[in-house]
């Protein structure tokens, strides 16, 4: 799955240091970008988020970043070059139909993999290069994916982004089982609980593909899949996500990916047609949408519609620990 974001409206972080680096990057200075990655070497969650955002904004400049990485000994430049090459590979693969597109994308993936392997050696405690490599290996050499995941988990057992990529690269049934096991082990207040939501969105996508193969048009396939997944009471999904949401809200703690988790929950409740359940999550992400999370529920239009639906909502009849949350 493509974990990319749309930089035109994505703002799923609360990191002033990253904001300053982005401003410098917009003026053509890549130095601060490397600096903010370097200062987060011992903070994989922060390092991963910063890298994701920076790489997105450097799409199209990959050759320049690679040249810089080859010219000086700088682990952050190597990591950044690998991340940008991977993002560019995805852009090429997802672009207009071209008989050579997949070959070109594969070449960019190979470039990325080599750089990430070097980055993993340069900073031998950093799980981020292995996490990015996992998304490549799962597609090109699936038999090796478990070993790469093992390297991620060894370097950081609680790594949100690593678990997110693991969910994204498993078959839908396996992804859901893994996400549920992760949420149970993580406990209340851990943003990894939202990965169960991601697994259901992936299952929804698989169902849409099945409806499409059965002769439905694209819109009909998506609508049927969303109903089966998020609105059919017999699926059990609405209740499961509502329970996870309440547990998360009741004990949520500061985390670099908390904003993304709230966006995922809000997107799921939007898909369910339950704005009152989206409310506490949406109020926490006003002005901080995750384009990646909302790609599953209408993109920017879906996010804006959900925010508009907040008007006039009365406090829902939720569990006491949710009603008593500081948001209310």
In the chain, where the domains are located: 1-169, 171-328
Helix (H, G, I), strand (E, B) or coil at 328: coil
The pair of structure tokens assigned to 241 is: 């996500």
pLDDT (tens place) for every residue of the chain, 328 residues total = 344 556 678 999 999 999 999 999 999 999 999 999 999 999 999 999 999 999 999 999 999 999 999 998 899 999 999 999 999 999 999 887 777 898 999 999 999 999 999 999 999 999 999 999 999 999 999 999 999 999 999 999 999 999 999 999 999 999 999 999 999 999 889 999 999 999 999 999 999 999 999 999 988 998 999 999 999 988 999 999 999 999 999 999 999 999 999 999 999 999 999 999 999 999 999 889 999 999 989 999 999 999 988 875 655 454 444 444 433 3
pTM above 0.85, yes or no: yes
- Unique residue bearing structure tokens 């609360």: 14
Distance CA 151, CA 58 (A): 27
Task: Name the residue among 188, 187, 196 with its Cα closest to residue 163.
Answer: 196
Rounded to 5°, angle at Cα 8 from 257 and 94: 85
For residue 278, give the 3-state DSSP assignment: helix
Helix (H, G, I), strand (E, B) or coil at 132: helix
Q: What is the 3-state secondary structure (H, E, C) of 11-67?
A: CCCCCHHHHHHHHHHHCCCCHHHHHHHHCCCCCHHHHHHHHHHHHHHCCCCHHHHHH
Task: State whether the Cα torsion 107-108-112-113 is positive or negative.
Answer: negative
């Amino acid at each position: 799955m493509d974990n990319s974001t749309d930089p035109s409206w994505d703002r799923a972080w609360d990191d002033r240091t990253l904001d300053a680096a982005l401003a410098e990057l917009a003026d053509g200075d890549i130095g601060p970008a490397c600096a903010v990655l370097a200062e987060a070497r011992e903070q994989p969650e922060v390092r991963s988020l910063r890298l994701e955002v920076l790489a997105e904004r450097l799409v199209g400049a990959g050759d320049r970043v690679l040249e810089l990485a080859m010219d000086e000994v700088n682990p952050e430049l190597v990591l950044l070059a690998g991340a940008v090459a991977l993002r560019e590979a995805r852009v090429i693969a997802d672009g207009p139909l071209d008989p050579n597109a997949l070959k070109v994308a594969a070449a960019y993936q190979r470039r990325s993999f080599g750089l990430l392997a070097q980055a993993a050696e340069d900073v031998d405690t950093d799980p981020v290069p292995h996490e990015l490599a996992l998304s490549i290996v799962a597609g090109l050499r699936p038999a090796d994916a478990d070993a790469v995941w093992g390297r991620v988990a060894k370097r950081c057992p609680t790594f949100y982004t690593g678990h997110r990529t693991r969910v994204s690269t498993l078959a839908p049934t396996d992804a859901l089982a893994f996400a549920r096991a992760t949420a149970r082990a993580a406990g209340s207040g851990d943003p990894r609980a939202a990965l169960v939501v991601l697994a259901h969105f992936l299952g929804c996508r698989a169902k849409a593909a099945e409806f499409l193969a059965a002769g439905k048009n694209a819109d009909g396939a998506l609508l049927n899949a969303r109903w089966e997944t998020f609105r059919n009471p017999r699926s059990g999904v609405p209740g499961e996500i509502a329970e996870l949401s309440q547990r998360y809200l009741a004990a949520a703690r500061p985390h670099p990916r908390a904003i993304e988790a709230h966006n995922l929950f809000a997107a799921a409740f939007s898909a369910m047609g339950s704005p009152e359940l989206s409310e506490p999550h949406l109020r926490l992400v006003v002005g901080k949408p995750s384009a990646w999370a909302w790609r599953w529920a209408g993109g920017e239009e879906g996010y804006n519609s959900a925010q508009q639906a907040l008007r006039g909502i009365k406090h829902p009849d939720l569990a006491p620990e949710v009603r008593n949350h500081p948001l209310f």
